[in-house]
A and B are shown apart, each in its own frame.
Chain A
Amino acid sequence: MVLAEDLAKQQRSISIAEFFEKNKHLLGFDSPTRGIITTIKEAVDNALDACEESEVLPDIFVGIKRVDAEVYRITVEDNGPGIVPENVPLVFGKLLYGSRFHQIRQSRGQQGIGISAAVLYAQLTTGIPTLVVSRTGAKARAHRFELMIKTETNEPEIVSHEEIDWDRTHGTRIEIQFKSTLAAKKRLADYLRLTAIVNPHARITADIDGEVTTFERVSGEVPPCPKPILPHPHGIEFGALKRIAAASTGTVEEFLVGSFSRVGKKTADEMIALAKLKPSRKVNKLDADELKRLLEAMQAVKVPAPPAQQCLSPIGEDLICRGLEKEIQLDFVKARTRPSAVYGGHSFIIEAAIGYGGKVPPEGTAQLFRFANRVPLLYQQGACAITNCVSQVNWKGYGLSQQGLPMGPMLIMVHVASTNVPFTSESKDAVASIPEIEREIVLVLQELGRELKTYLYRRDKTKQQDNRARAICSIIPDIAAKVSEIVELPLVDTSPIEGKIMRKVVAKKRTVDGKVCIDVNNYTAKEVPLVLYNLSRDEAADAVPRPDFVDNMDGEYNKVWRRTLGAGEAWQIVYTGSGDGSVDLRGVEDNVKVVVDLDV
């Protein structure tokens, strides 16, 4: 029989730091390998957020260095606004300390847990304090801190603090050491690449154990920083309503108009009437029942969607395409930004892109890139609403095979931007299934699917035309030669056939008995200016006509002729040589050009 008094001795409060020390997996520190990625992710998110807020183009350095058998030092340095010295210990040494938790707007970080959790993880595994250097501007000196977290109280412990000189005029540098492995190197590289894709305005330099990679920026514009908005009446819960009502001094009407977005006098009066309250009542005097009535009325009245333009910052179609193209070579890329939508009073915007061909591996299923508020999601792909939506789309209708995800050389990128991204857990790995969001994702993918279908159809058509052109230009002359030999008559001229079928500019190179002969025929109805390049080991000193320009490159001669060919005009170059090498025609659009090397 245990007495309540005995139990009481064991009962005490726990601090948030202690809680997370025990439950590291909730924050994405479930394994040493993952710890490294989570830390870099949190630090880079903070750096990008800070740069966005201060409207500078981010220049971020990420370094990972092995310091002994199991310990790695992770360095992240940015050129952001810096942190004032009195706040540095709190930002890095206290969980749940942040600037964005109380604001309704799109940002990468939210709760103020991420980077302090990394500090906590470092002191758990190595006991080495975290080093932070920050400078707020040219007039101030830099401050150097060594920090730890007192887990029992969730308060920072400053191990050392000094002012130092630093060559950056403003920015922050953090160095964290913990036990880890570089097993997830590929995933880390993926994370950095994906981050570079959705932040085309950032330059990211990574030094991973001596391997340096730079992701160059392609956009010189800082994306507009989203501005906080007031809560939307449809997105508020009873507890929150009670809290802000208690803190308000005005009447119910003033309260509704002043504390919520999209509520004007007319809407407020409608709500008050529906809740059967007097508009003149002081809102902090309302009892629980009246507040409940008010909340129901607020949810029932139709209110326009929150001002998404203000609080959200989508990447935009053009920048998504440029971001993808700078990191991955593609034959086709199309992006779409949907108009903003709402779920439960929270604004969100879905953006997506499809890339096809190029250097994307053709085997297996499509590559899926998931993003939430410009942050790549690397884990739990199978549990994510985005993945689910991609599988729901019938890709067969767009000319692709499908096994859940579509198959083939394609990549699909989906970005969910919201003032409140519904994650499945605090580690922010996967987006939860919200019908409104899923509907938007499916719609945007279908739009892009149609675009891709059109592209594939055109591509196949072009392929057919090319195939036809190649047949005519390379095989018909062979048929002509053989047939003329059989019937013992002079070689039949096939150019009328070519002209009839092709309506293109055709360049043909053929070598017979030591004579290289390049024929160019303009079968189009227009005059065409063109440049002919012939790179081979032949010097072509006796070429007729003479090349306009010859360039000797290590025993290979690049011969260039410039010429304008009238409609239907033919032109021939002849010189003595072996006819190796290549021939190319420039200045002519691809769809009206055929170049055939009959010596190959």
Chain B
Amino acid sequence: MSREEMDALAKERLVGIARGWYDQMRDGVVPYIRLPTRTKRNLAYDDEGEVWKYGEKESTRAATNEKGAVHILKMAYLIGFLKQQLVENRSSTLRELYYISEGWKKAKFTAQDESNLLIEDLEIITDVQREAFHLRPEEDGASLFGPLRIRETTRRGVKEMHCQEDVGEAGYPIPNNVDNLDFVDHDAKFVIAIETGGMYARLMENGFDEEYGAILVHLKGQPARSTRRVLRRLNDSLNLPVVVFTDGDPWSYRIYASVAYGSIKSAHMSDILATPQAQFIGVQPSDISDYNLPADHLTEQDINALKAELTDPRFATDYWRTQINLQLDMKLKSEQQAFASRGLDFVTKEYLPKRLSEMGII
């Protein structure tokens, strides 16, 4: 779809919501909107796409009380603003949007979170991604490094580069809008997504990408949408297996879950954001005991997060239940860089090859 067609579609869908409210009011009905309930209890596995999506449960927001009325008013102002933005062909960031709302009187956002949630609501209702509303994320995507040649359509022409030869130490920075990115060719066997910058640099320094034909993707913590979309596309269009390498704590398992199954907040876009074939390397709770890794004690919050994961449908597999219960018994967590206690090469020479062959990747 061309850019103009995309803009027209986004505008049409947004105005469609307002049109619905207009008709409701004209017919003497208090304006309302229906949305899937956005909680983990309402996540359902979609067999076709092999991802987790919102289930049947819906919530209705109606202007019958002050809270609901304000919510709809804010949504109306937001739609008005986005429509204008599309007409004028401008773009803005979520943070800018929050400040723009300062002038909206009663419809003013009380916090950044509120505007983010509303935008996600609009994505769900319109089935159009926020990029199509000309909203840019605040954070850049992360970076990748490996035997891959890409072509990016930038505002200043088309650039082609190789992600080992044409990039610096930091790798190739993934752009916000992955739609402008094409994979030309590659010489890779698999993709490894890494949580921390330290480990990403370690693998690069140890030449892991060359030795095993790996594309290294730095996740930078909870990965941005663009990072997740790149992983999905590498998996889909290049048929490369994706593995995820994180710290061994409950927050990191959620990073893996958002890559593999989609996140609770953006389950409506799991089809393009999640990589269902992505596999988890570690650090596994069992690694902590097997390799006798230096570890910290779990905090109260860690324990609660682990217990919450036991009720999260995305972790409802025998493998995860065993691992999480093991961790709750040990009451320990380790970082991926804890392997350094056995030497700087241990992770690339011993641990990763062993795990990758167990998983049938190499």
Residues of A within 8 A of B (CB): 464, 467-468, 470-472, 474-476, 478-480, 482-487, 489, 492-494, 496-497, 500-501
Q: Using a Cβ cutoff of 8 Å, how many contacts connect chains A and B?
A: 81
Inter-chain CA distance A486–B15, complex, in Å, is 7
B344 close to A (CB within 8 Å):
no
Report the separation of the CA atoms of residues A312 and B63 in the bound assembly, to the nearest whole angstrom. 59
If the complex has contacts A486-B15, A486-B18, A492-B25, are A479 and B72 also in contact, measured as CB distance less than 8 A? Answer: yes
- Complex Cα distance, B63 from A471, in Å, reads 7
A419 to B16, alpha carbons, bound, how many Å?
A: 80
Q: Are B69 and A476 in contact (CB under 8 A)?
A: yes
CB-CB < 8 A to A486: which residues of B?
15, 18, 76, 79-80, 83
Additional 9 contacts, C-beta under 8 A, given A471-B67, A482-B80: A468-B64, A472-B63, A478-B106, A479-B69, A482-B76, A483-B21, A486-B83, A487-B15, A492-B22
Taking CB atoms, residues of chain B closer than 8 Å to A480 are 25
A492 to B66: give the CA distance in the assembly, Å.
Answer: 20
Q: Give chain A's interface secondary structure class.
A: helix
- Chain A, residue nearest B19 (CB): A487
Report A-chain residues with C-beta under 8 Å of the C-beta of B63: 471-472, 475-476, 479
Whether A483 contacts B22 in the complex (CB less than 8 A), given A478-B73, A478-B106, A496-B28, comes out as yes
Judged by a CB distance under 8 angstroms, whether B29 is at the interface is yes
CB of A485, distance to nearest CB on chain B (Å): 7
Q: Chain A residues near B68: list those with CB within 8 A.
A: 471
Complex Cα distance, B21 from A487, in Å, reads 10
Does B357 count as interface, using CB distance less than 8 angstroms? Answer: no
Cα(A500)–Cα(B15), bound, Å: 27
- Across the interface, do A501 and B30 meet the contact criterion of CB distance under 8 Å? yes
Nearest to B26 among chain A residues (CB) is A492
Closest to A495 in B: B28
Whole-angstrom distance between the alpha carbons of A467 and B79 in the complex? 26
For residue B77, CB closer than 8 A to chain A, the reply is: yes
Cβ of B65 within 8 Å of any chain A Cβ, yes or no, is: yes
Per the bound structure, the CA–CA distance linking A345 and B72 in Å amounts to: 70
Decide: A475 near B80, CB < 8 A? Known: A483-B25, A487-B18, A496-B28: no
Given the interface pairs A470-B66, A471-B66, A475-B70, the reply to whether A497 lies near B29 with Cβ below 8 Å is yes
The chain B residues found within 8 Å of chain A, CB to CB, are 15, 18-19, 21-22, 25-26, 28-31, 63-70, 72-73, 76-77, 79-80, 83, 106-107
The CA-CA distance from A467 to B65 in the complex, in Å, is 7
Q: Contact at B69–A471, with CB atoms within 8 Å?
A: yes
Interface contact B66-A468, CB-CB below 8 Å: yes
Residues in A with CB closer than 8 Å to B66 are 467-468, 470-471, 475
Complex: A480 Cα to B76 Cα, angstroms: 9
Q: Assess the A497–B25 pair: CB atoms within 8 A.
A: yes
Q: Which of A472, A482, A492, A500 contacts B69 (CB 8 A)?
A: A472
Residue of B nearest to A481 (CB): B76
Q: How far is the CB of A43 from chain B (nearest CB, A)?
A: 56
Cα(A482)–Cα(B28), bound, Å = 17
Q: Which residues of chain B come closer than 8 Å to A474, judged between CB atoms? A: 106
A475-B63, A475-B66, A487-B15 known; A497+B30 contact, CB < 8 A: yes
- With both beta carbons as reference points, the residue of chain B lying nearest to A482 in the complex is identified as B76
Given contacts A467-B66, A497-B29, contact A479 B80 (CB under 8 A): no
19 contacts between A and B (CB under 8 A): A468-B64, A471-B63, A471-B64, A471-B65, A471-B70, A472-B30, A472-B63, A472-B69, A475-B69, A476-B30, A478-B73, A482-B76, A483-B22, A483-B76, A486-B18, A486-B79, A492-B25, A494-B25, A496-B28
Q: Do residues B64 and A501 form an inter-chain contact, with CB atoms below 8 A?
A: yes
Cβ–Cβ contact A484 & B22, under 8 A: yes
